[in-house]
Amino acid sequence: MIGFGPHLMVDGYEGSFETLASIESITKFLDELPAQIGMTKIMPPYVFKYDGGEKPEDWGISGFVIIAESHISIHTFPEKGYFSIDIFSCKDFNIKEAIDIIKEFFQTDKLEIQTTSRGTEFPRDIGLATTITNSQRERLI
């Protein structure tokens, strides 16, 4: 793998109101997902309800879990059937499996999915990075 790692971004529509509105459900999702996709949870999920502020219909549940490989976060808008999830990891993971878990948990197939590679110049192998840096320096002399 080149770079730091993959970042999966999922926007979900027409999700289950009951799931999107439940602190317990979102906590369960964040608690179980890391192991399901081969990640290592290093703290319990932190999940809270947002009251919507000036737009009461925008209330929802937000949460995140720190994993050894980076983090997973979610924001829900139950009144709109919408949620957004980010899974960022320094190691590869089965993106299709993660998407299937999300579809099943939130009871929707209506997803927008984006993936990107983060930190494309991250020196994953310090020995290789040193060799490349030294060869570039030699060309400058």
Q: Which of 16, 62, 71, 75 is catalytic?
A: 75
Q: Which of 22, 25, 89, 90 is catalytic?
A: 90
C-beta separation of 71 from 64 below 8 A: yes
Compute CA distances 2 → 24, 42, 48, 66, 117, whole Å: 37, 25, 35, 23, 9
The yes-or-no answer on residue 7 being catalytic is: no
Region for residue 58 given its phi and psi (left: phi exceeds 0; alpha: psi -120 to 50; beta: otherwise): alpha
Compute CA distances 52 → 19, 75, 91, whole Å: 18, 12, 35
Q: Which of 70, 71, 89, 135 is catalytic?
A: 70
Return the active site residues.
70, 75, 90
